[in-house]
């Protein structure tokens, strides 16, 4: 009996550490962190798309304004037609994309003053902006199309930046 005991003790292995844990499945904290990161990414993508959709009509209006100017430069539009179409475009943008319904009733000098306040340029109402007021209805108007186009572009870019 005493001989059998040392043989059994020699068969025992020394103390050893357990195997390290595997990488899968992760602990609950990692699942929560992963879901939080995923929710943040989805929220950022949604916010970015919402922001882009709000700016899209304004960018499209800017492209249409440039097309009108190009048509004027190519003599497909005269100065009065450019001023009329640009006026309608700016008013439509302010009403629908800018959610400023109060501008629908504005015309003449009140309309030009309103645009001047957006542009933050008091000289707009006495120079280029007069083309959007009553000046275009005169018998032989002298409309400063280049200055008007530059001012209208500034108005649209200000609206784009403010959204």
In sequence order, what DSSP letters do the residues of 32-75 get, joined into one string? HHHHHHHHHHHHHHHHHHHHHHHHHHHHHHHHHHHHHHHHHHTT
Which residue shows structure tokens 């048509």?
71
Report the domain count for the chain: 1
> SS3 for 97?
helix
Question: 160 with 58: CB under 8 angstroms?
Answer: yes
Name the pTM for this structure. 0.73
> SS3 for 72?
helix
> How many Cβ atoms are within 10 Å of 147's Cβ, its own excluded?
15
Distance between CA 21 and CA 126 in Å, rounded? 78
> SS3 for 8?
helix
Largest CA distance in the chain: 131
* Model pLDDT, residue 151: 93
Whether residue 27 is contained in a domain is answered as no
Minimal CA–CA distance to 151: which of 72, 69, 74, 75? 69
Structural domain for 147, as ranges? 56-162
Show the CA angle centred on residue 61, arms to residues 95 and 153, nearest 5°: 100
Which tokens is 32 given? 């929560």
Distance between CA 73 and CA 57 in Å, rounded? 24
Whether residue 31 is contained in a domain is answered as no
Long-range CB pairs of 67-70, under 8 A, 24+ apart, other chains included: 69/145, 69/149
Mean pLDDT by 10 residues, the chain (163 residues): 66 84 89 97 97 91 96 94 95 87 89 90 85 87 92 92 83
Whether residue 137 is contained in a domain is answered as yes
Query: Angle, to 10 degrees, between the axis of helix 79-92 and the axis of helix 28-73?
Result: 160
């Amino acid at each position: 009996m005493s001989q059998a005991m040392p043989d059994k003790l020699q068969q025992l292995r020394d103390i050893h550490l357990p195997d390290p844990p595997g990488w899968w499945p992760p602990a609950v904290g990692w699942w929560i962190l992963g879901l939080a990161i995923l929710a943040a990414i989805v929220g950022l993508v949604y916010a970015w798309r919402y922001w882009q959709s709000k700016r899209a009509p304004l960018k499209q209006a800017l492209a249409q304004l440039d097309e009108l100017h190009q048509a004027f430069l190519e003599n497909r539009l005269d100065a009065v037609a450019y001023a009329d179409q640009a006026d309608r475009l700016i008013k439509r943008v302010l009403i629908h994309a800018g959610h400023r319904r109060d501008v629908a009733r504005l015309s003449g000098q009140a309309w030009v003053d309103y645009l001047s306040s957006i542009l933050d340029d008091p000289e707009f109402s006495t120079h280029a902006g007069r083309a959007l007021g009553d000046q275009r209805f005169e018998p032989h108007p002298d409309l400063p199309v280049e200055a008007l186009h530059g001012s209208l572009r500034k108005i649209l870019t200000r609206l784009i930046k403010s959204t």
